[in-house]
Amino acid sequence: MTQPHYTLSKQDRLKGEIRVKRLFTEGESFLVYPLRVVYIRDEVHETPLQALFSVPKRRFKRANKRNLLKRRMREAYRLHKKELDGVLTGKELTLSVAFTYIANEPLAFQTIEQKMTEALSILQEKSL
């Protein structure tokens, strides 16, 4: 029995100024505090789900805090993206998603992980 691959490769990350700008101008959004999730159905790519993680400099001036929060969001996403990934592959859909941290204080990984799973389940409902 093979283990599922819990990876976050380079292809899984949303890149490109035009695609990111389109996501934030045309995409739909919802809130799962402390995360703001913006998503858009995209043209078919090699990966069904591409994500972007951001922490505003306005809320966290120090780069080490921003990097810590981005690492926590990426790890929570990496551990729980498999369910949504499977649904999108089955339906042949492609989603581009941006996760923005909106709280004013750094929260524990367990809290971020719980909210990330909520956000991914909402995305799964909305993509159907």
Extents of the domains making up the chain: 12-127
Q: Is 0.75 topped by the overall pTM? A: yes
- Please name the residue ranges forming H helices in 31-101: 63-80, 82-91
pLDDT digit string, tens, across residues 1-39: 444 567 788 888 998 999 999 999 999 999 999 999 999
Note the pLDDT tens digit of each residue in 52-111: 999 999 999 999 999 999 999 999 999 998 888 888 877 777 899 999 999 999 999 999
**pLDDT computed for residue 123 by the predictor:** 92
Strands 49-54 and 95-101: parallel
- Domain 12-127 CATH (choose: 3.40.109.10, 3.40.50.720, 3.30.230.10, 3.30.70.360): 3.30.230.10
